[in-house]
Chains A and B, each alone.
Chain A
């Protein structure tokens, strides 16, 4: 109950931000909501199934690419929806072979896939004679902010619902032991694939919003592995055992990045790496697990 109240208060504050703050702070808020949406989505796959994706930027980048290609051709809502669907479909496609790979191999495979996608898009853009694209007439920041707010809320709701569903129980079982799970009737292949595709859905939409915010598209900069790495670190530091973790992680890192990213990006990355190591070693449940709370299996 108290959790629900706190969440409602947070949502209210986030919704009111553009009314009370200037563009700069709305921009910071947008970044925060972006990482909430990305990290919550990520936990649907990696938190629930244990298949850790270190390449989620590929869905974000794909969404951004779809948005750039369609901008001016379709209404904003359709673009965001199509970006999400494209990411969903792409995940469903590559998921079937990729999810046969387990453990650390899956982690490094996702990273490799994202890099591969980046270079493919770079080459394709080269063929098309485009090395970067500029977007004219992009929506104002408030519009984008509210879309992102909706995406962050949707992602949070999605993790909440998945965790409580029969589907979610199946995912947890396969995380604990895949062979035992399929032997007691969990359709592991289908469930993993659905979790992967669901975890890609909102990141696709997020990518489309962010490219409109940046008003230009340059593949090497959009498919930046730092995004994937940040998502994973946020989830590890915040905790991915409940929906609170990604909120904590995203808030902490956006604050840290505000302090450091502009002036000392490399120092920021070093800190990210250090925090990741410390939390993996000493507090694998993340901040959320360190908080005194009722503990039960979902």
Chain B
């Protein structure tokens, strides 16, 4: 079953064409990777799906519903959750309250503050932040704040999770932990995942399918092995270096 469908989506910033004519589907239960160099339009794509930015053209359909024109909070309640590449914690609130807020207002719509707190603690345990629940979010390290981003997105209760470089800037050990967390979210929580990642090996391991963007255009789509062998992808990624 198709959960998310993009058709000819484009985005223009003034005279700059950030994305043009992007189409692809994501089936329920899939992990789809988004690959591309800096400025390829990956984050913009997430912003369009989550409603942080409006598309200049094309349609985005989630679970049979067109998302055009909906504000971000409505899209979140329909079941799409995203993380930000540059972390955006609620710095002055505790770690627990960060996550509980998502549980209260997201698709999960926790019935009471107690229910929200319970859900928050469960998610925090999953990402390994349970001991920090009472600390202010701004006191976390970068790795901690990345995990908090993830926890907050998960706690909204969305079915589609969009992860924007949650592994960037982490040590190899932390990357391994994060990989495991993402796998568990997929397996145990049954989440559909759209993931942007620079750490290529991680993406190859996780994703069942990869979409490659270059200068705002989709240049390839397919299983990791096929993407790895695609000459166009090689040209874009390694051409300059060779």
Contact = CB atoms under 8 A, between A and B. Distances in A.
Asked if A and B touch directly (CB within 8 angstroms), the answer is yes
Interface of A: 166, 169-170, 172-173, 175-177, 179-189, 296-297
A180 B82 CA distance: 9
B84 A184 contact: no
17 contacts: A166-B105, A170-B101, A175-B92, A176-B90, A176-B92, A177-B91, A180-B89, A181-B90, A183-B72, A183-B81, A184-B76, A185-B77, A185-B106, A186-B105, A187-B73, A187-B105, A297-B93
A172 B90 contact: yes
The residue in B89, B105, B113 that gathers the most chain A C-beta atoms within 10 A of its C-beta is: B105
A219 to B, nearest CB: 39
Contact of B73 (A175, A176, A185, A296): A185
Contacts of A183: 50, 52, 72-73, 76, 81-82, 84
Interface in B152-195: 152-153, 155-156
Contacts of B72: 179, 182-183
B102 A185 contact: yes
B48 interface: no
A182 B156 CA distance: 11
B148 to A, nearest CB: 11
Contact of B107 (A179, A185, A188): A185
A183 B102 CA distance: 9
B77 A180 contact: no
A217 B76 CA distance: 50
Contacts of B92: 172, 175-176, 297
B73 A188 contact: yes
B4 interface: no
Interface of B: 50, 52, 71-73, 76-77, 81-82, 84, 88-94, 97, 100-102, 104-107, 113, 136, 152-153, 155-156
A297 B94 contact: yes
Contacts of B107: 185
A233 B72 CA distance: 35
Contacts of A185: 73, 76-77, 102, 104-107, 156
Among B91, B104, B107, B156, residue most surrounded by chain A Cβ atoms (within 10 Å): B104
B106 A189 contact: no
B101 A177 contact: no
Nearest to A165: B113
A182 B71 contact: yes
Task: Across the A-B interface, give the 8 residue pairs with the lowest CB-CB distance, nearest first.
Answer: A185-B105, A176-B90, A180-B88, A184-B102, A185-B76, A185-B106, A182-B72, A177-B88
Nearest to B93: A297
A180 B90 contact: yes
A223 B71 CA distance: 37
A177 B76 CA distance: 16
B96 to A, nearest CB: 9
B89 A169 contact: no
A146 to B, nearest CB: 36
B42 to A, nearest CB: 17
B134 to A, nearest CB: 9
A185 B136 CA distance: 21
A184 B101 contact: yes
B185 to A, nearest CB: 16
A182 B73 contact: yes
